[in-house]
Amino acid sequence: MSTFALQELTESARRADNAELLNALLSLPMDRATILEALAESRTER
């Protein structure tokens, strides 16, 4: 059964439209400065 489920999931993923998936994601208002600040903080934590 798990092999069948994996095959079905794989086939579904191949047919998925990436643009449609991205449009379905929740859009959060965030400006460039906030993104760059978060990126810089994550890099210093490494």
| CA 43 – CA 36 distance, rounded (Å) | 11
Q: Rounded CA gap, 5 and 45, in Å?
A: 39
Domain boundaries, the chain: 2-44
pLDDT tens for each residue of the chain, 46 residues long: 799 988 988 888 777 677 777 777 777 788 889 989 999 999 988 7
**Distance between CA atoms of 13 and 7, rounded to whole angstroms?**
10
> Global pTM?
0.38
Give the C-alpha separation, 14 to 23, whole Å: 17
> What type of residue sits at position 43?
R
Tokens of 33: 């400065």
Amino acid code (one letter) for 46: R
